[in-house]
Structure 1
Amino acid sequence: MPNKFPPQIKIPATYMRGGTSKGVFFNLTDLPEAAQVPGEARDKLLLRVVGSPDPYGKHTDGMGGATSSTSKTVILSKSTKEDHDVDYLFGQVSIDKPFVDWSGNCGNLTAAVGSFAITSGLVDPSRIPDNGVAVVRIWQANIEKTIVAHVPITNGEVQETGDFELDGVTFPAAEVKVEFMDPADGEGSMFPTGNLVDDLEVPGLGTFKATMINAGIPTIFLNADEIDFNGTTYNGTELQEAINGDGHALTMFEVIRAHGAVKMGLINDIEEAANRQHTPKVAFVAPPADYVSSSGKQINANDIDLNVRALSMGKLHHAMMGTAAVAIATAATIPGTLVNLAAGGGERQGVTFGHPSGTLKVGAETQKQGNDWVAKKVIMSRSARVLMEGWVRVPGDCF
């Protein structure tokens, strides 16, 4: 008697850490034919790979880690763009809902794109030195921007081990420098409202000063000391449990995010925010202050320029999203933004900011052209390594 349940299929895949995130990487041509093009089949496949939607919030039956940092997927292919090596498409998989958000990039996983592209044969061998640094030109297809990854090479192979330490990552690894070129969002101007600081009216909560910027990823920055939920005022030194354990606070942040998304022109109605969880991000800033990081490391106020806390997919991030770090660096170098003012104001070429896991240094090149600000590039260092490679298996009828 034939089995009415089709067997599992296996798809070549690599599980990688990039920065403070990890995800499942695919070569486009390795995907089943129906999933090689955007659409329902691709989304259903990636949802099943990660293990979503999961009402238990654990991703027990998939490759996800039930956090915004670990429910990620990447599809790479040889670039169709001139002067680029690889096309990079990022899918943020919802944990508890059946959808994949394609609206933005993952800056952390970008650090792993270059090495995956090299080891997968997507980069011309003539561009890879026997020893030194391979410059991988990445076309970020979600946001249509160029990113350049500087990948260390030893004896013709990607060098993954090293002594570079990144707060939020347990073990040291090789340093990968990443340049986000012209990072202002392609959907419009860097400041979609035309203002460095807006009054963001949120019915039922009040009016907040907000810097809303499209750089790296659309981001709404607030002042920590203006946020007061049920008598709790934030100071910018919060760790995950202080916010993620407070359901009321998370709901309020989502309401603020939805209204900010409307004001930024990303959605037409706040109801649309539920289907656009990945963007925009919401973050809050504060002047430097001492705190103890999630690993127990003492962070001293005199070692940082400001504190920043950011939410991703409805929860406070355990460190900092790479794309949000791009937004922080860009805003910090523009006098008058809330990020710049929290860092002390004035002109600067970058900042070192505190986040729940420690600190991060980012640099940016911005300039004013007429009435508009333009970001030339943002630079930061991350690390990446392969965690597992082989095949991922899913039921043959899941897509």
Structure 2
Amino acid sequence: MKIFRADYVFPISADPIINGYVTIDDQNKIIAVSDQVPKGFEHVPVENLSGVITPGFVNAHCHVELSHLHGKVQKGGGLVQFIKNLQAIRNSTPQEIEAAAIKADSEMYENGIVAVGDISNSDITIPIKAKSKIYYHTFVETFSFTPERAQTTFEGALKLMDQFKPQPCSITPHAPYSVSKELFKLLKRYCDDHPNKNVISIHNQESEEENKFYRYKLGAFNDLYAHFGIDISYFKPQARNSLQSVIPLLTNKQDILMVHNTTTNLKDIYFIKRFDRRINWCFCPNANLYIEDALPKIDLFLDQGFNLTLGTDSLASNNKLCILSEMKVLQDNFASLNLERLLKWATLNGATLLGIDKEKGSLDPGKTPGLNLITGLDDLKITAETKVKKLV
């Protein structure tokens, strides 16, 4: 048995507790969360801490297999240039990729992350995830903007997903600009046939160029397809943003995570509300600044009834895999965001998306969510001195 006392305890599922106590057993399961030592546990030593105790963090969007690209992809220049640069240097030896992924996994664990929604295009992270102390849900990503390759691409992704099993995994589209309508239809049919068993994650509106291409078939994405030798003569302008174009192609039987959302506007959000789709949102602000030097219009998403989560994206587009760092960027740029709200995005909302909210995400008796200690706050605001320490 252990009892921790801190200046504040944020259970997430209940109001914060001043001078709160968290009691756990030898399996790190929550026994009690209260404003005093629970009755019958007076004999257990109390570890007094300065700071805020929270559940472990959930990183809803990451690419562990890209960790070997840390510091190698030039900042700025926009999404299209980022994709070109990434693909030019992405390949490396399996040993280098594996070593960097192992280091990234360890970094996330030390940064208080207990669960990750991770994008994979290969099988290289399977043994790493099998041994990890972190819970992983792998999104096996599929992409092909060429209609004729839809069936072959889809079947290849299914085979890769079978390799990840029995680890939690699902098949998912990459982005509107990299998935043909034919491939979207195959994914929708699969999700409809496996209700509540294939949560999907899709990169959404990272750049205004994406919307420009879908609306008018103009802009930098034309250069991108030409750069990779992809024939897009079949594609017709949709006269609406990319999100509005693909929403009707997505399943209504499964949760959908829209990631990045850098240029998503209010009309897009209202458009989604007209459809029976289970939309969640994920924000990765450090990656948005790294690639586009822009942030999503966060205030548009507040109090709209959606599940909002946080991610780090990859080390190709971020300096570190740290949810606290993502929270700080959002807090510094949006006055409407306080610590309590951000912590819910960073814990329970991510756990709910991944279907592990009965075990993680909040400090409720019977759960094993992990415990983080956040220090260096100034009146419950994240500062340059704020740090996270994993307690259990």
Q: Which has the higher contact order (CA 8 A, sep 6+)?
A: 2
TM-score normalised to structure 2 length: 0.27
Instruction: Pick the structure with more strand per residue.
Output: 1
Instruction: Pick the structure with more helix per residue.
Output: 2
